[in-house]
Amino acid sequence: MSNTLNAVRTKAVKGPGLKVPGVIILQFLLIFAFEALEYNFTKVGFFTGLAILTTFLGGLYLGRPGTSFTNAVNPPIALLISTLLLMATFGGTGLSISKIGLELITTLSAVAPWLISGAVISWAAHFALMRKYSRK
């Protein structure tokens, strides 16, 4: 696993990479854009899930060596915030208490497999990178 992580880090962008705020903004904007597009045409599901998985992998690829924890933690939070923003604007439901819970459960159930698989990959990479850096 260490060789594949080294291969990912050597193929990453030239230069130091994104800092923690850059990873957060990258992940939020990508999730928000895909969720907004999908929310306008249908309900949230496949394409938002692919965007979530891409943000997990993109954070590993584009982030600096110390950003793996943020990369693992941020996408579910970004999904929650973007869902709340979209419900209040595009969704037309406003922030009605009775509809917030139902919409959040619907959105989370649609993208749960993507969140779980991305989190497993991201946490495994985080612990592998921490192990690698602690040996040096």
- Provide the domain count of the chain: 1
- The H or E element that residue 77 is part of is helix 68-88
Question: Is residue 19 classed as helix, strand or coil in its secondary structure?
Answer: coil
Tell me which residue range forms the domain holding 20.
Answer: 2-135
Under the banding of pLDDT at 50, 70 and 90, the label for residue 8 is low
- Lookup result for tokens 């209040």: 88
Distance, CA of 73 to chain centre: 8
CB 132 within 8 A of CB 5: yes
pLDDT tens-digit series, residues 18-28: 899 999 999 99
pTM summary value: 0.82
pLDDT tens-digit series, residues 35-83: 999 888 888 889 999 999 999 988 888 888 888 899 999 999 999 999 8
Cα(98)–Cα(23) distance, integer angstroms: 33
Q: Span 95-114, mean pLDDT? A: 83
